[in-house]
Structure 1
Amino acid sequence: MTLLHNDTIDTLLNRRTIRSWTDEALSEDELETLETVAQRAATSQYLNGWSALRITDPAVAAELARIGNQPYIAQAPALYIFIIDAYRNLRIARDADVPEADMTFDADYIFTQSQNDAVLALHAMETAAESLGLGTVILGSILNDVPAVISLLGLPEKTFPVLGLAVGHPAQTPALKPRMARELQIFENVYPAASEGASGEGAASAPSMHEALAGFDAEVAQYYDLRFPDQPVKAFTEQIAATSTDTGRLAKAFGEPARAQGFTGRGL
């Protein structure tokens, strides 16, 4: 089979992370376009449960760079933080005299679906930016210290940071990072194997995971060898094994900060 192509598909297929930009600022037209496109993303139950903060204060950007341990965050010509936002709807319900005890904005469903809304909006903005020739990087690093981000951005109850997006005119053209074989991520009807050689729909023709990963390992090793020739090369499976015991992940617990923001997880 042959991939079909158009401008949208080619933009998505050529997606890459950019961490260095020129000094050229984004125009007001570019900013308005990106923000309007983000607003057109799908939203669960039409709740519009997300918002984004455009960071224009250099001191705030510098603090986000410190929290994320990524200096380039402070250098981005445009910087957005996407958040869960049930506060706006909370205010609407309060103004309509809905009894507070009857509201369900603290529900786990609201938290999860609003998080999904924020991610979809960010991805729409990212894709639009890249279609305009801009370069982007998604910033999960803002979650290194959620309470600090909440305080820094003055986030009220029923809000929570999700991801950041840095945008600018690219000053680099990195190689496309490899992606694993389609059969390792796209399955038909049922998950193909709880164990190697499992029977059931889709399992008989599925290649061994280890066989499929071997080719991906070779691609990843070559990618890193070309990008960082002076550093030890690690295949994908080696990276996963090495990071599987990363205790730093345990320090990034979101439960308590979410509860502090009023998301009690009702419905769990």
Structure 2
Amino acid sequence: MSLIDTTVHGQVHELRLARAPVNALNPELCAELAHAVRDAAAHGARGIVLAGGPKVFSAGLDVPHLLSLGEDQAALMQAWEAFFHAARALAASPVPVVAAMAGHAPAGGCVLALCCDYRIMADGPYRIGLNETQVGLVAPEGIQALLARVVGPHRAERLLVAGAMPDAAEALRIGLVDELTHIDEVAVRARVWQEELLQLPHMPMLETRAIARREVVAALEPDRIDLPRFVAQWSHPDTQAALRAMLARIGK
């Protein structure tokens, strides 16, 4: 069973994360997402909509899976590499990508959205952000740069250090998302945005976009993620305690 549902709307391909209940990003889902992004462009898509589930776009990395790996550093590296592989596929997509978020987008879900060209979120009590410090993690420098690119360095610092998760209205106000709409209209609005962009002369639009997004691609370069250091920090007692406390809260 595929973990990505693909729907073709003319020149716009909609890729929907389909790993119920909250689209937790395990290696299989990440691998399928990276493949689907490249496959869409290879099969004529001139725009991509990345959608998730109702009320939760993606809850981020599959923490229970990661904790189940214990101290297996090689397996942990492989799992995190799969996630960043998907993020890089979005960032380097040769065609525009819109994140259609009909719900929450914490941590890894927010990273995927930051790799897209445009972010549309459901209007309501939904939250988005890099809450890594809340769960005992340190967002790599490149991920921090992605947030600073859209909200500015000072605001990014405040959000990152606190692990804050602004609600939809605040996310719009600070520029973390570009547009709010009714939860049932998120994917439709994403397609409309793409179709309007596709009315522009194609080559100039794509070349301008490529120049403007160089820093998005650069932020995800391996030396700015420093995955060995990130994975080594995974075993820190503070990190493990915070992650297990989060799972206990969710379990209740």
If asked which structure has higher relative contact order (CA below 8 Å, sep 6+), I would say: 1
Same fold by TM-score greater than 0.5: no
Which band: TM-score by shorter chain?
A: under 0.3
Going by fraction, where is helix more abundant, 1 or 2?
A: 2
Q: Which has the higher Rg, Structure 1 or Structure 2?
A: 1
What TM-score does the superposition give when structure 1 sets the normalisation length? 0.26
What TM-score does the superposition give when structure 2 sets the normalisation length? 0.27
